[in-house]
Amino acid sequence: MGLFDILKRKKKKKEEPAKKPEKKPEKKKEQPKVSRPSRPGLAYRVLASPHVTEKATRLSESNQYIFKVLPKSNKTEIKKAIESLYGINVEKVRIINIHKKKRRTGRRREGWKKGYKKAIVEVKRGQKIEIMPR
């Protein structure tokens, strides 16, 4: 008979749903707004590398710097990334898509030179970016 008592107890536990205490909706406290960068870490998702060539060094004298950027980035993202990374004011951004080119090595072997996206960034007069540390 002890076996039947155990089965009755289990049925009673299943039949009675457990009542949970009701939670009262909490009022949200208004927190003071803190000024933060719009998208932290954006520079590493947009900028690939600085583009260092003879022409780029000549352009740096006239406050223009060249960067290789990731293919899906746009002008506003590039501007925000450079301003947050270097702490300067950007006046203008121009973008150029360099397409891939066919190259030959030897007589019959052909390959492709990778294409990339390049951004020419004009900085406010009097400000400079040090791309290559001295």
pLDDT band at 108 (very low <50, low <70, confident <90, very high): confident
Greater confidence (14 vs 82) lies with 82
Sheet with 64-69, side-by-side order of all strands:
47-50, 64-69, 116-123, 90-98
Residue ranges of domains in the chain, CATH in brackets: 39-128 (3.30.70.330)
- pLDDT tier, 28 (very low <50, low <70, confident <90, very high otherwise): low
In the structure, what pLDDT confidence band is assigned to residue 93 with cuts at 50, 70 and 90?
A: very high
Quick one: pLDDT at residue 36?
A: 45
Q: What is the pLDDT of residues 5-23, one digit of tens each?
A: 666 665 555 555 566 667 7
**More confidently predicted of 13 and 27:** 27
